[in-house]
């Protein structure tokens, strides 16, 4: 058995969070913080899994009928649902014992150990499902489609799939939630500058998706929000940086009102403080994804203005991340190579 290594990038949602669930397009960018999965033959009769960046330790299991895992060692209290969902969807019950490492250390803050909110679970799921599918005999096995389904299983059927699509493809994509999980590659616009900042507060995507699902927003709150996401995606394709900034400013305002109307608290976790001061720095700032903490993105056409804003955001507890656009999606290589 030849060891393999598969990696997949994280992501930041530039626009379309929540609106994508209502049929609007989302613009998402891959980030160069990558989840890495290594698989090789196990040393004994059990499959083994370790998860640096999530929990330290190693756990052994056997595959039962129907893709269910029987754990020889008790998993962490929060479980290893990602491994279970990937294993079930990839239908790996007939494989010889494997030693699996799922490494997401790049997605955590070095000092606090907190997750940064860069899409670690989607990146890890993408890399793991693709890696497991390499050991199947069937050619052209639809690993990407299985990654979508496995991640949906993990999230209880919630979510749009935009994070999986970004991890699979890399670069910038325009994503629309439909049966085909349609994604189109887009270019990063000339003269548009950005920086990713972290709030210092981890947030739960699932809790906000559950809130949205429970409240069932009315057409009165959905319509203008979805329109603003559609308009921004159109502006992005056009490629004019100034028009993009104007459009993202309008979209972010609509996102704020949508959050308030549906009590989603997207701008909590400190985002509201720096959102209100962005105009003073001649930039646009918005939280990315579920909000309530995690990350945000600052956009502008002046490097000095973006830097000035990031410095001011630091006074509110935010930290600028060394995370940049990653043009490469899921990547497969020989696991014996470092």
CATH label of the domain that carries residue 96: 3.30.230.10
Flag whether pLDDT at 234 surpasses 80: yes
Q: Work out the pLDDT band at 138, boundaries 50, 70, 90.
A: low
**Where is the domain boundary, 139, 159, 185?**
185
d(CA 144, CA 334): 20
User: Given a cut of 60, is residue 212 above it in pLDDT?
Assistant: yes
Select the more confidently predicted residue: 125 or 114: 125
Q: Does any domain span residue 157?
A: yes
C-alpha–C-alpha distance, residues 328 and 102, integer Å: 19
Q: What is the band of 116 on the pLDDT scale with cuts at 50, 70, 90?
A: very high
Backbone angles phi, psi at 257, to 5 degrees: -70, -35
Radius of gyration of the chain (CA): 20
Q: How far apart are CA 157 and CA 84, in angstroms?
A: 15
Do 201 and 180 share a structural domain?
no
Select from 160, 185, 210 the last residue of a domain. Answer: 185
Domain match, 122 and 32 both: yes
Task: Tell me, yes or no, whether 31 and 163 share the same domain.
Answer: yes
Supply the CATH number for residue 194's domain.
Answer: 3.30.70.890
Residue 334 lies in a domain: no
Please report whether residue 285 resides in a domain.
yes
Residues 198 and 81 in one domain: no
Q: How many domains does the chain have?
A: 2
Q: Which residue has the higher pLDDT, 206 or 45?
A: 45
Instruction: Clarify whether residues 180 and 192 are in a common domain.
Output: no
Tens of pLDDT, residues 51-68 = 999 888 999 999 887 778
- What is the SS3 string spanning 236-285? HHHCCHHHHHHHHHHHHHHHHHHHHHHCCCCCCCCHHHHHCCCHHHCCEE
Q: Are 296 and 283 in contact (CB under 8 A)?
A: no
Residues 44 and 95 placed together within one structural domain of the fold: yes
Considering the domain architecture, whether residues 181 and 231 belong to the same structural domain is answered as no
User: Are residue 143 and residue 260 in the same domain, yes or no?
Assistant: no
Does residue 83 belong to any structural domain of this protein? Answer: yes
**Does residue 180 share a domain with residue 193?**
no
CB distance 167 to 329 below 8 Å: yes
| Residue 144 forms part of a structural domain | yes
| Domain of residue 294, residue span | 188-320
Question: What's the pTM value of the predicted model, to 2 decimals?
Answer: 0.94
Is residue 54 a part of any domain in this protein? Answer: yes
Is the same domain home to 168 and 220? no
Question: Is 326 domain-assigned?
Answer: no
**pLDDT tens-digit profile of 256-279?**
999 998 888 999 999 999 999 998
Q: Do 140 and 206 belong to one domain?
A: no
pLDDT band at 156 (very low <50, low <70, confident <90, very high): confident
Report the DSSP beta bridge partners of residue 60: 48
Q: Which of 144, 166, 185 is the last residue of a domain?
A: 185
User: Do 158 and 23 share a structural domain?
Assistant: yes
When comparing pLDDT for 235 and 75, which is higher? 235
Task: Let me know if residue 327 belongs to a domain.
Answer: no
């Amino acid at each position: 058995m030849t060891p393999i290594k598969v990696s997949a990038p994280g992501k930041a949602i530039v626009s379309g969070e929540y609106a994508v669930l209502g049929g609007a397009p989302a613009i998402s960018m891959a980030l160069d913080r990558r989840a890495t999965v290594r698989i090789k033959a196990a040393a004994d009769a059990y499959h083994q899994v370790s998860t640096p960046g999530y929990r330290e330790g190693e756990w052994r299991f056997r595959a039962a009928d129907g893709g269910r895992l029987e754990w020889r060692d008790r998993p962490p209290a929060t479980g290893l649902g990602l491994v279970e969902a990937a294993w079930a969807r990839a239908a790996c019950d007939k494989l010889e014992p494997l030693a699996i490492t799922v490494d997401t250390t790049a997605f955590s803050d070095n000092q606090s150990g907190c997750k940064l909110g860069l899409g670690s679970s989607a990146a890890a799921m993408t890399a793991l499902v693709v890696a497991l599918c390499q050991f199947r005999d069937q050619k052209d096995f639809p690993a990407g489609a299985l990654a979508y389904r496995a991640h949906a299983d993990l999230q209880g059927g919630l979510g749009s799939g935009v994070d999986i699509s970004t991890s699979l493809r890399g670069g910038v994509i325009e994503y629309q939630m439909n049966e085909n999980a349609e994604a189109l590659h887009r270019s990063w616009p000339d003269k548009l500058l950005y920086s990713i900042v972290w709030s210092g507060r981890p947030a739960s995507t699932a809790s906000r998706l559950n809130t949205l699902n429970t409240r069932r927003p009315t057409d009165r709150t959905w319509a203008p929000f979805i329109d603003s996401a559609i308009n921004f995606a159109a502006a992005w394709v056009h490629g004019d940086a100034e028009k993009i900034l104007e459009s993202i400013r309008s979209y972010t305002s609509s996102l704020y009102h949508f959050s308030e109307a549906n009590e989603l608290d997207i701008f909590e976790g400190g985002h509201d403080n720096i959102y209100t001061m962005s105009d003073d720095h001649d930039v646009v700032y918005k939280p990315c994804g579920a909000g309530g903490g995690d990350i945000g993105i600052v956009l502008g056409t002046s490097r000095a203005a973006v830097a000035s804003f990031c410095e001011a955001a630091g006074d509110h507890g935010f930290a600028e991340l060394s995370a940049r656009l990653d043009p490469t999606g899921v990547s497969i290589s020989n696991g014996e190579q470092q």
